[in-house]
Structure 1
Amino acid sequence: MEVASERDVCQLCQGRDSTVASRGSINLIAEMCEGCWNRFANDLAAVEGATAPPSPVPDEDDYETSGPSTCSKCGGRVRRMPTYYDRWVDLATVELPAKQVPERYRWRLMKVPVAYAPITIAVHIRVIDPLPSDPVIPAHALLCPAEQVEMPDIRS
């Protein structure tokens, strides 16, 4: 049986666990055990709509391309992107002015430096409101013909 050290304390449950690690793509969230991390990330994903399945990891021996990701509901093309909390979101393939996208569907892409090459992740916009004309990437759910999303009145 492995004994957890003092630094292996989960910041959420305060339990000692050998699975405690820096969690998230940009290591800015917290030191959490695997159980707390999964509950936290799944809850956040449910709120933000980041419920897409992960993109498959390409086999280095397979020279066939897997093709673009598609929506499981409408079959339309999507940009499947990882989030900073290790979940995936389907984004639209177009940018729109922020005034045309309800707040809960606004995303941006951000390059994050990692050891060997930068990765691009999706970041939900919620702390700083963009200007009405600023481009944002809507979640695919907003534009999906199979979803029932109420659009804001943009006549102003």
Structure 2
Amino acid sequence: MGAIRDRERYLCHQCGEVNPTVRNRGRIDLMNRLCETCWNILANEMAIADGATAAPRPDPDPDDVSWIEPPNCPKCGSLVRKYPTSYDRWVDLATVELPAKDVPEPFRWRLTRLPDPFHVVTDIVAVRVRGVDPLPGDPVVPAHRMMCPYPDES
């Protein structure tokens, strides 16, 4: 009986294969139990659809005590905020919040605080606003590519 339960623990919900890399995926534990390969395929597809294709922030040097400034957009030079998404990819967001009525639906993001088991905020992730539309006056954080004058240049 125990062997059957162990098999279910390592069963990928996407491909149906038994794999030791199977675990709950995503920063908000709402994703299925997926193997590493299926997770990367799914997360990359979501990132492309959402425009979350930014490079991750570099890890700060623990010995460096200087202030960390937000990075600049390499195309337009304005400040951006880099945040991890709920599916472990990164997105560049604008530095201001705007009412939802002023931001087209594909560019709406919200910042969510993730507490640890002791209810201390340990991380902030960006979550795409979808499903239920926010009220017109609700604040959302627009993706930087909406505000960038050069979004498609490389």
- TM-score norm. by structure 2 comes to 0.87
**Structure 2 CA distance for aligned equivalents of residues 114 and 101 of structure 1:** 31
Runs of 4+ residues over 4 Å off in structure 1: none
| Distance of 1:85 and 1:147 partners within structure 2 | 23
Tell me the SS of whatever aligns to 2:81.
strand
Classify 1:37/1:69 alpha carbon distance in 2 versus 1 (closer, same or farther; 3 Å).
Answer: same
Matched, 1:11 2:13: yes
Gaps of 5+ in 1: 149-156
Provide the residue aligned with 1:154 in structure 2: none
Say how many residue pairs are matched.
144
> Partner of 1:109: helix, strand, or coil?
strand
The separation in 2 between residues aligned to 1:55 and 1:47, in whole angstroms, is 21
Q: Shift in Å at residue 91 of structure 1?
A: 0.5
Identical positions, percent: 51
Alpha-carbon distance, 1:62 to partner: 2.2
Match of 1:142 among 143, 146, 152: 146
Match among 39, 42, 51 for residue 40 of structure 1: 42
Task: Report 1:5-154 matches (<5 A).
Answer: 5-6=6-7, 7-115=9-117, 117-118=120-121, 119-147=123-151
Alignment root-mean-square deviation, CA: 1.5
**Superposed displacement of residue 75, structure 1:** 2.1
Paired residue type of 1:90: D
Stretches of structure 2 lacking an aligned partner (at least 5 in a row): 1-5
Counterpart Cα distance in 2 of 1:102 and 1:80: 20
C-alpha offsets along residues 13-46 of structure 1, whole Å, 9 cap, x if unaligned? 1111111111111221111110100010000010
TM-score, normalised on structure 1?
A: 0.86
SS in 2 for 1:42: helix
